[in-house]
Chains A and B, each alone.
Chain A
Amino acid sequence: GENVEQHPSTLSVQEGDSAVIKCTYSDSASNYFPWYKQELGKRPQLIIDIRSNVGEKKDQRIAVTLNKTAKHFSLHITETQPEDSAVYFCAASRGYGGSQGNLIFGKGTKLSVKP
């Protein structure tokens, strides 16, 4: 089955710097890759996602890149702010419905942005 590895497990940056979190997946049939942000004491929330027919997607200060050949995808946060401090989870799935649509999550990255 699918396996998703996420690195690093913790990341500390200075406010204004960029942060990059990387994930690799094992199932070449995976075609949907979301990223979730979980602030302390709150639910995970979807912040950006990408499908396998796209190599890069941006939304303001966040972007996700996908390399299907290497089976890895990354989250990039530019101009980090203290409110970006949270745990970030990557995930992968093969589709929408049935068990193939189930997301497999990485173990998470705790990002700390120091003022």
Chain B
Amino acid sequence: DVKVTQSSRYLVKRTGEKVFLECVQDMDHENMFWYRQDPGLGLRLIYFSYDVKMKEKGDIPEGYSVSREKKERFSLILESASTNQTSMYLCASKERKLFFGSGTQLSVL
């Protein structure tokens, strides 16, 4: 069965903190993605990766970076969290079809 696991379901951080969101997939997929979901705005692509150590910007990369040191793990980094980064973050992996993790609801106070 397909499995994309995000390390935290809920996270509360303070403005200015460095935040790490972790995602692991067990399907040996090469393609991994980070989306942000906000009410009324749908799913917006932040960053994606096609291979280890490879990354490309999506539609809204500002304020974020990513790391992919191993094929199964794709991390999203908020270098200095801000209140406008309060959102639901969804990781996904893909071969022919896209599978989502259960999401991390991040609140930045």
Complex contact A101–B94 (CB within 8 A): yes
B57 CB to closest chain A CB, in angstroms?
A: 10
Q: Verify A89–B100 contact, CB threshold 8 A.
A: no
Closest to A45 in B: B100
B100 to chain A: closest residue by CB: A43
By a CB distance below 8 angstroms, the chain B residues around A43 are: 90, 100-103
Docked-complex contact B99 and A98, CB < 8 angstroms? no
Residues of A within 8 A of B70 (CB): none
Contacts of A46 in B (CB 8 A): 97-99
Q: Which residues in B have some Cβ–Cβ distance to A below 8 Å?
A: 31, 33, 40-45, 48, 50, 56, 58, 90, 94-103
Q: Across the two chains, which residue of chain B brings its CB closest to A4?
A: B42
**Interface contact B50-A98, CB-CB below 8 Å:** yes
CB of B41 within 8 A of CB of A107, answer yes
Main secondary structure of the interface of B (DSSP, over half): strand
Which residues of A are in contact with B by a Cβ distance under 8 Å? 6, 9, 34, 36, 42-46, 49, 89, 96-99, 101-103, 105-108
A94 CB → nearest B CB, Å: 14
Closest residue on chain A to residue B9 by CB atoms: A41
Asked whether, in the complex, the Cβ of B41 is within 8 Å of the Cβ of A102, the reply is no
Residue ID in chain B nearest A106 by CB atoms: B42
User: Do B43 and A96 touch across chains, with their CB atoms under 8 A apart?
Assistant: no
What would be 21 A-B contacts, judged by CB atoms less than 8 Å apart? A6-B42, A34-B97, A36-B100, A42-B102, A44-B43, A44-B90, A44-B100, A46-B97, A49-B97, A89-B43, A96-B95, A96-B96, A99-B48, A101-B31, A102-B58, A105-B42, A105-B44, A106-B42, A107-B40, A107-B41, A107-B42
